Structure 1
Amino acid sequence: MADADPLDIASTPSRADILEACDCADQKLNEISEKFDFLLSLSPTNTPEAMQCWFDNGCEGDPDFHYRELDFDPAEIRRELHAIELSGLHEPLIEGLLLEKRHELDLQLTLLENRCSKDFLLASEQLYGAVSDELYDAAKAILHKVKRSKRDRQVVGAVELLEHAQLIIARYQHHDADFQPELEIRDDVTGLLVSYPKLYIDADARVSKRRVDPLLSHELSIHMVTGFNGDCQDFSIFETGLAGYEEIQEGLGVFAEWAVGGLYASRLRLIAGRVIAVRAMLSGADFTECYRELRMKCGMGQRTSFKLAARVYRSGGLAKDAIYLRGFFRIMQYLSEGGDLSPYWMGKIAPVHVPVVEKLSDAGYLKPPRLIPEFLSRPDAKARIDDYVADPSPDKWLSPEPTPESAAS
């Protein structure tokens, strides 16, 4: 047997060298992603004012939305993005994840470059996908079968939301003191928005009291916890999110709402309405036509229809809102087939990445999650999930409306 060529041995990188090269490329990608806040940059800063003005003017035409000035040059960031060397990392699994993420960041920069232009919509559909006939029909069926419920007159505002969020955070900090989300009430966001490690709360927020726990279970126990667990990995890509992670993240968020018993009729109808709105937008409907479809055909309220259309038509047409129902369907299907959610707590990943994550974990590249969503340990949530797994049925998705006694407790 011939002796091994010493030059070949010398050129074979060690595990430490591979890790260093992967970590260097990962950090450069992370530095790029931190140079812009994607969703914040695409969201209007004046939704309440634009809504009132639109109503005052007879609900015609496009609302006058205002957006933040970009304090960065997307083209310059793109040049930096493609200057990152990702070939020859000698770890094909990690190299593949980083290449996918670079492509996704490139698409996001394209969207930012084309805000409020006709080219925005095309890139948006490429990033988030179209609305299939199956998903559209399912959304219509939900709106037909699930009837509107009475409005809950007990509402809380931004301060109460922040205080409730602090209580949930304290439960997590009992298990891990390093969990330190930043909470901020702002007047330039709509609803709640997580951009790890920050939770932005709309200063004008008015949330049904019964929706507070489901809403924060979605935002904190899914988005913030997976962001934290990803941040604790050696590769920051698990905190910023692997390519295509958003659909299953939002699906897990809706799953969290359901698991705590808070996927009420109004919420299930809302995420179904988002699918209808995205389909209308992608089919060429303008803002007013979409608003009227939501009002007249879907039975949505006036303000709800406007806010839903505003989310979908922001910056020129964002197809993201269809992923909530699509992602929820995928999670419930996954559970019905005996799927294990454990890999999803390690960071922000997509279903296609589960086998990759398991291999990287077995190889010692990934750590176990430091936090698990706290609602999974609640007896009522565990019973609800176990019952669904034993006998899956879409009829179990809708949470029963609380009785006056339970709502007041």
Structure 2
Amino acid sequence: MNSTTQLLQPALDIDVRLAEIERRVDLLLNLTPVNAASAWADFERSDFSAVPTLRLRPLEFEPDLVRRDLYNLEIEKVEDPALHTLLRTKRDEIARQITALEDRDTSRFVQGSLQLYGGVSPALVSAAEELLAIIPAQSPTAPSVTAGAFAEAARAEMLRYRAVYPEFPVHIDIRDDVSELMVSFGHLLIPEAATFRADRVAPLLQHEVGTHVVTYQNGARQPLKLLTIGLPGYDETQEGLAVLAEYLTGGLDPRRLRVLAARVVAVGRMLDGAGFLDIFEALQAQYRIPRKTAWIIAIRVVVAGGSVKDAIYLRGVSRLLEAFAEGISLDALLVGKLALDHVPLIQDLLDRGVLRAPWVRPRWLDAPGARERFDRLRAGTSVMDLYEGETAR
């Protein structure tokens, strides 16, 4: 530990406690339906006419006790102005997470979701609708692979990292209580009933392992432990970076772009008062989204009372494209899980020796064609430029 780190030790002690508390809250897992597979089967049996009932797991913490732990942290004694602001903002974000979880399945939940993830601007909705209009709808043609086969591919990908970084851990769980592929605190969680398009396996590995797991592991080797669970508002930048990892490896295909756009449209409709069936039917009839995909998008948007999180993927990509054109450092974004707004702080901590350079370099940076694609991003592009095929018009 150098002298600068010793000087900041009170802040780093609070940082550790905040990371521990957010792990207890576990927002991502606690907003994931535990019955998605059976809910889809019921929906099929109803001839796609009955609103599904999505069940969420009981909270395994007492909200008031966790709040007490949060506000017992003496953040006011942190003297470094930047870290003081960062820790206070993170404490407030965790408090909002707790309230949002208490408000699950009530009309109040959507307001908590908006506080955590932000809304959808008219410009973002317009870009999403433009993508849906210009990209021809395509039926899936590639064969599918099972959750087990995907897990084997993910294990092989993690072992490739371990070959270069011997301490790189391999944590993969196939679970029957998650409804979507996710990374939770460095663990890749795969829904037991899921199938994956064979041509989407490689891009998804770059998204989940090459970005989410890698940035978690990079953050785990920093003195600032919040870089593992995420600095305040990190989700947008993290998901945007993960989508760009798909693009840089040539895996951001037209169907994937249409899904990202459809998520924004679905969030917008939900905020305008549309219910599950209205969203589900509009995605199919108006935007030509396949039925099962429309189901997945719709349940992600209405879960717990209305979630706006899915808008962050396209918004995150858009903001990153602007940032790369302005010359932002990619290395700073790989130090851990952070938002674009934190890059100046991260760079300052790197310069002062508090933080160290990223431990793991993502494999997607060295994929064939990745450097050329990244150079194009640096030259200035928009989300429309990420689609390279023929237009539907």
TM-score scaled by structure 2? Answer: 0.95
| 1:370, distance to aligned residue in structure 2 (A) | 0.4
CA RMSD of aligned residues (A): 1.7
Structure 1 equivalent of residue 144 of structure 2? 155
CA deviation profile, 1:344-366 (whole Å, cap 9, x unmatched): 00011111111111111111111
Query: Is there any run of 5+ residues in structure 2 with no aligned partner, and where?
Result: none
Structure 1 equivalent of residue 184 of structure 2? 195
| 1:157, distance to aligned residue in structure 2 (A) | 1.1
| 1:60, distance to aligned residue in structure 2 (A) | 3.5
| 1:280, distance to aligned residue in structure 2 (A) | 0.7
Greater relative contact order (Cα < 8 A, sep 6+):
2
1:80 is matched with which residue: 69, 81, 87? 69
SS in 1 for 2:346: helix
Structure 1 equivalent of residue 121 of structure 2? 132
The change in CA–CA distance for 1:85 and 1:95 in structure 2 (over 3 A counts) is: same
CA deviation profile, 1:333-386 (whole Å, cap 9, x unmatched): 222333321100001111111111111111111111101111101232112222
**CA distance in 2: counterparts of 1:91 and 1:252, whole angstroms:** 29
Q: Does 1:297 find its partner at 2:278?
A: no
Structure 2 equivalent of residue 359 of structure 1? 348
Whether the aligned pair in 2 keeps the contact of 1:154 and 1:208 (CA below 8 Å) is yes
| 1:93, distance to aligned residue in structure 2 (A) | 1.6
Alignment coverage as a number of residue pairs: 388
Mapping for residues 246-285 of structure 1, pairs under 5 Å: 246-285=235-274
CA deviation profile, 1:75-115 (whole Å, cap 9, x unmatched): 22112111111012121221211111111101110111111
Mapping for residues 8-407 of structure 1, pairs under 5 Å: 15=4, 18-390=7-379, 392=381, 394=383, 396-398=385-387
SS in 2 for 1:130: coil
| 1:393, distance to aligned residue in structure 2 (A) | 5.5
The change in CA–CA distance for 1:103 and 1:144 in structure 2 (over 3 A counts) is: same
SS in 2 for 1:269: helix
Whether the aligned pair in 1 keeps the contact of 2:211 and 2:241 (CA below 8 Å) is yes
Percent identity between the aligned chains?
37
| 1:15, distance to aligned residue in structure 2 (A) | 4.9
Query: Is there any run of 5+ residues in structure 1 with no aligned partner, and where?
Result: 1-13, 402-409
SS in 2 for 1:262: coil
Deviates more, 1:34-43 or 1:221-230: 34-43
| 1:394, distance to aligned residue in structure 2 (A) | 4.7
| 1:148, distance to aligned residue in structure 2 (A) | 1.5
